[in-house]
Amino acid sequence: MIRNKVMRLFVGFALGLFVSLGVAQAGEAIEGSAKADKLESCVRDTPFMRRNHFELIEHQRDITVHEGIRKTDSSIAGCIDCHVRRDAEGQPVPINAPGEFCATCHTRAAVTLDCFSCHATVPTPINPAPELLEEVKAHAAGMDPEIIEKAHAGMESGSAKQVTGN
Amino acid sequence: MKKIHFREWGIESPRYWGMLAVLAAVVAIAGFATLYMEHEGHWVTGMNNQIVWGIPHVFAIFLIVAASGALNVASIGSVFGKKVFKPLAPLSGLLAMTLLIGGLLVLVLDLGQPARLIVAMTTYNFKSIFAWNIYLYVGFLAIVAVYLFTMMERKAMGYTRSVGTFAFVWRLALTTGTGSIFGFLVARQGYDAAIMAPMFIIMSFAYGLAIYLLVLMFTFKTDGRELGDKLIARLKNLLGVFVAAVLYFTVVYHLTNLYGTENHAYEAFILRDGGIYTTLFWGGWILAGCLIPMGIIYHPALGKSRGALVAACSLVILGGFAAIYVIVIGGQAFPMAMFPDKTIIASGFYDGVNGDPLSYSPSLPEFLLGIGGIAVALLATLVAVRVLRFLPESLADDVADPHAAAKGA
Amino acid sequence: MSKQTDQGRRDFLSRAATAAAATTVAPGVFLHSVADAAPRAEPVTSKVRWGMLIDTTKCADGCTACVEACDVENGLDLIGKPEGASDAEWERQRPRWIREVKLKDNLTDRITTMPMLCQHCEFPPCVDVCPTGASFRRADGLVLVDRHTCIGCRYCMMACPYKARSFIHENVLLKSTAVPRGKGCVESCTFCVHRLDQGETTTACQDACSKDGHQAIIFGDLKDPNSAVSQAMSKYPTVEVRADLKLNTGVRYTGL
């Protein structure tokens, strides 16, 4: 039930775009709603993170994919889980939506990431509930490519334009 | 012997710019088609999880194979010391480069992740023939560029022969590499043949020379330059030999396949039951690509006509496309023999149920991408001959080959 | 509402949390056969080779439990048909990691049904041909695609004798944390690597098959003589599909 709820939020979020309410439909993220906001420090000290966070995740990426190491504090799933903010409804706001954690600096620094063309931008359950899948499929079947594109554009960090999936 | 002068291609500006504009428009359309495919993903193409390489690969492989073949004329001149061919060499080197660039562009733009090209250039798996090909292609461009320099720069002319020899060896390696892309696919009946690599080499000779001849005749005619009959006859006979060799290798390839029982089903598919692939094999590869051109070339009357030669060259090129289509797509459409002695009667993933071929219906954007590759090659060629001295002022027989001219007279 | 969500997220993360606790209990101790979940802390080694035995005599005609379970586990059903794509074409372009095939023996007419999936070869042709090394074989025998270096050339798909790989032909809108995927890369069965790396020892297809009471799929460590899969393999004659290619597959079949 609870898991369904999360899935519904997640699906609802994605489909919110479909009913063309835009990313903002997830609601304004609430200041201080991320786990990280209640914590003292990041997985490394803050200056280090500012300068080297990408090396950290990229290293993690390689050792997870090639060596199977999952016991770590620097997985990309972990960054998202701790840093993602929530709206008034408690829905997670995509980590790369404009103004959100992984987007703000990158927009400023004109860095474009392709990570989120594959990686989920909100924490999702490991197995979506089957009932919800029907709903997803029903919607996905009618998913207009343009909407998909808009969704990606909205989710892509920063305003810098990039073709999704690269 | 008269000194041969080279001069920029001098057709009137409006005509020249008109040609460029047409080519640029084709390139632009292809560019939009590519962006569309990139943006939507490959679902807008006819390619699928069964036919994974489609029309773009047919165009790309044709252009790459033809590129190495286009260098032959230069090689004959500088490596084998045939004087008559020397003035023909710069255009030959130029076409080798532009055709390769066109082909590579198509190949790269069809990737699922073209933006990761940098990954392909920096991370290698040295076991992969594909990775070796990246070196072979880039190296080829560099060597041919140096080769061209030695031909066109007086001070470097002493090196033409050694650089030319190196380029010749390299081009053999390049075509072997391209052919081996298929030769290494042991899982697929149609490709697992040692003859694949030499067959690609001989195909490259024919296709490269056919394109060379067309470009030579076109640029000379439009610019009012003279092209001697003796010279054309030599090139024409060379083309005849190459086309005959393609035919010979094709026959050997299929005969050796027929010899081994395990390939009978594949042979029956290509030669008899394959629908479009069978049609393209007999009508395109064999008839249009080999028999008719040979008929024209060796015909006592037609063989002397320039128009007929243009037709023969065009047919060799069309036949070449048909051949590559049959190899690339036909080889995939024929279902892999996963279970010998068994028939797949149902499958959740298109395994060639009851031996049925897998289906592929190419879409427009794929074609446009491929045609764009050709347009890029031609565009680059026309720009280069206009700004640099690639074309001899005259190739009249008494200029190009005074010996032969004298003998004939 | 927000409380519920938090709970839900805890549910989502519970696996990782228990796992973390388990590892702290015995730091540095690593046994590949432990059943209790713990995220992997040490690099995988070749002391383990994951493999699968499929008993075709137990595989039921018309049953697609393994296929459906795989689709759900790996988010394959989150991918929608793009607007404007024809149904027939879409079926050829959508990804599949496991599929049912039905065979008829040419001599005896005997019918066999069985699932086909990536055979996790010891000498995988896909790995040999991959220009960037994105296709790789992990030390514990999994044949995977590093989708951070895959350029989408599809040469591996040309090389695979089992047609086990799929290309992602469209933009992926709905994504799952556990199994990321995106347009323009090739992928195939991972033996549910996200489970294995959390210390679990079953795959989704195997679980589904058991749940339906068929037990046609046994998964486990081929190098552990006591594992269920090794035991079963020592008892029955097994075959490799396309044994002639000598790829030493990690997936074997009985009754074929």
Q: B6 phi and psi, to 5 degrees?
A: -105, 145
Q: Is B6 helix (H, G, I), strand (E, B) or coil?
A: strand
Between strands C111-117 and C98-105, the pairing is antiparallel
pLDDT class of C5 with cuts at 50, 70, 90: very low
Q: Are B377 and B101 in contact (CB under 8 A)?
A: yes
Residues of B in contact with A140 (CB under 8 A): none
Question: pLDDT at residue C34 above 50?
Answer: no
Q: Are C183 and C156 in contact (CB under 8 A)?
A: no
- As given in the structure block, the two tokens for residue A40 are 């003292």
Question: pLDDT at residue A11 above 50?
Answer: no
Looking up tokens 């490709």, which residue turns up?
Answer: B191
Q: pLDDT tens, C151-177?
A: 999 999 999 999 999 999 999 888 888
Instruction: Say what the pLDDT of residue B2 is.
Output: 61
Looking up tokens 């954007």, which residue turns up?
Answer: B365
Mark yes or no for CB contact B343/C103 under 8 Å: yes
Q: pLDDT tens, C228-254?
A: 999 999 998 999 999 999 999 999 999
Interface test mutation site (partner C, options A1, A5, A6, max chain C beta carbons within 10 A): A6
Residues of B in contact with A145 (CB under 8 A): 40
Q: Which helix (H) or strand (E) holds C199?
A: none
Angle (CA) C243-C246-C250 rounded to 5° is 75
Spatial CB neighbours of B225, under 8 Å, sequence gap ≥ 6 = B219, B391, B392, B393, B394, B395
Residues of B in contact with A149 (CB under 8 A): 39
Q: Which of residues 35-54 of B touch A (CB under 8 A)?
A: 35, 38-41
Residues of B in contact with C96 (CB under 8 A): 49, 348-349
pLDDT class of B156 with cuts at 50, 70, 90: confident
| HSE (side-chain half, CA atoms, 13 Å) at B130 | 29
Interface test mutation site (partner B, options C81, C97, C111, C154, max chain B beta carbons within 10 A): C154
Q: Are B168 and B152 in contact (CB under 8 A)?
A: no
Q: pLDDT tens, B105-136?
A: 999 999 999 999 888 888 888 889 888 898 89
Instruction: Say what the pLDDT of residue B263 is.
Output: 85
Mark yes or no for CB contact C163/B129 under 8 Å: no
Instruction: Say what the pLDDT of residue A62 is.
Output: 95
Percentage of the residues of chain B whose pLDDT score is greater than 90: 73
Strand partners, B343: C104
Question: pLDDT at residue B401 above 50?
Answer: yes
CATH of domain C50-254: 3.30.70.20
pLDDT class of A123 with cuts at 50, 70, 90: confident
Instruction: Say what the pLDDT of residue B260 is.
Output: 78
Q: Are A20 and A144 in contact (CB under 8 A)?
A: no
Mark yes or no for CB contact A114/B115 under 8 Å: yes
Q: pLDDT tens, C50-69?
A: 999 999 999 999 999 999 99
- As given in the structure block, the two tokens for residue A89 are 């409804």
DSSP string over C154-180: -HHHHH-TT---EE--S---S--SSS-
Residue C79 gets which letter from DSSP? Answer: P
Q: pLDDT tens, A24-76?
A: 345 788 888 999 999 999 999 999 999 999 999 999 999 999 999 999 999 99
Q: Calculate the alpha carbon distances from B41 to A99, B36, B212, C92, C182 in Å.
A: 28, 8, 36, 14, 10
pLDDT class of C18 with cuts at 50, 70, 90: very low
Query: What amino acid occupies position C156?
Result: C
Q: Are A141 and C81 in contact (CB under 8 A)?
A: yes
Question: pLDDT at residue A12 above 80?
Answer: no
Count CB neighbours of B35 within 10 A. Answer: 13
Instruction: Say what the pLDDT of residue B249 is.
Output: 96
Q: Which residue has the higher pLDDT, C36 or C185?
A: C185
Residues of B in contact with C102 (CB under 8 A): 344-347
> What global pTM score does this model have?
0.88
> Dihedral (C-alpha) A131, A132, A133, A135: value to the nearest 10 degrees?
110
Closest chain C residue to the Cα of B192, Cα to Cα: C159
Instruction: Say what the pLDDT of residue B227 is.
Output: 93
All partners of chain A with 3 or more CB pairs under 8 angstroms:
B, C
Q: Are C37 and C15 in contact (CB under 8 A)?
A: yes
Alpha-helical (H) ranges within C178-247 are 193-196, 204-211, 228-235
Mark yes or no for CB contact A163/B116 under 8 Å: no
Q: Calculate the alpha carbon distances from B264 to B155, B185, B261 in Å.
A: 58, 18, 5
Mark yes or no for CB contact C82/A143 under 8 Å: yes
Q: What is the mean pLDDT of chain B?
A: 92
Q: pLDDT tens, B43-63?
A: 999 999 999 999 999 999 999
Q: Are A150 and A15 in contact (CB under 8 A)?
A: no
Instruction: Say what the pLDDT of residue B134 is.
Output: 87
Percentage of the residues of chain C whose pLDDT score is greater than 70: 86
Question: pLDDT at residue B407 above 60?
Answer: no
Instruction: Say what the pLDDT of residue A27 is.
Output: 72
- As given in the structure block, the two tokens for residue C28 are 């540095």
Q: pLDDT tens, B188-247?
A: 888 877 788 889 999 999 999 999 999 999 999 999 999 999 999 999 999 999 999 999
Q: What is the ipTM of this complex?
A: 0.91
- As given in the structure block, the two tokens for residue C31 are 């046994």
Q: Which of residues 127-166 of A touch B (CB under 8 A)?
A: 145, 149, 163-166
Q: Is C19 helix (H, G, I), strand (E, B) or coil?
A: helix
Query: What amino acid occupies position C112?
Result: T
Instruction: Say what the pLDDT of residue B402 is.
Output: 64
CA distance A150 to B350: 33
Looking up tokens 């009249």, which residue turns up?
Answer: B396
Q: What is the mean pLDDT of chain A?
A: 70
Q: How many angstroms separate the first and last alpha carbons of chain C?
A: 54
Question: pLDDT at residue B92 above 80?
Answer: yes
CATH of domain B6-337+360-404: 1.20.1630.10
Q: Is C176 helix (H, G, I), strand (E, B) or coil?
A: coil
A90 close contact with C: CB closer than 8 A: yes
All partners of chain C with 3 or more CB pairs under 8 angstroms:
A, B
DSSP string over B95-108: HHHHHHHHHHHHHH
- pLDDT (average), residues C35-45: 82
Q: C53 phi and psi, to 5 degrees?
A: -120, 130
Q: pLDDT tens, B6-15?
A: 999 989 999 9
Q: Is B76 helix (H, G, I), strand (E, B) or coil?
A: helix
Q: Which residue has the higher pLDDT, C219 or B160?
A: C219
A38 close contact with C: CB closer than 8 A: no
Q: pLDDT tens, A14-32?
A: 433 332 222 334 578 888 8
Mark yes or no for CB contact C183/A143 under 8 Å: no
Percentage of the residues of chain A whose pLDDT score is greater than 70: 59
Q: Which segments of B106-259 are extended strands (E)?
A: none
Q: Calculate the alpha carbon distances from A132 to A82, A114, A128, C64, C228 in Å.
A: 25, 28, 7, 20, 35
Instruction: Say what the pLDDT of residue C36 is.
Output: 54
The answer to which of B171-180, B319-328, C44-53 has the lowest mean pLDDT is: B171-180
Q: B80 phi and psi, to 5 degrees?
A: -95, 5
Q: What is the mean pLDDT of chain C?
A: 85
Spatial CB neighbours of C116, under 8 Å, sequence gap ≥ 6 = B338, B349, B351, C98, C99, C100, C101, C162, C163, C164, C241
Q: B342 phi and psi, to 5 degrees?
A: -130, 155
Instruction: Say what the pLDDT of residue B403 is.
Output: 66
Closest chain A residue to the Cα of C22, Cα to Cα: A71
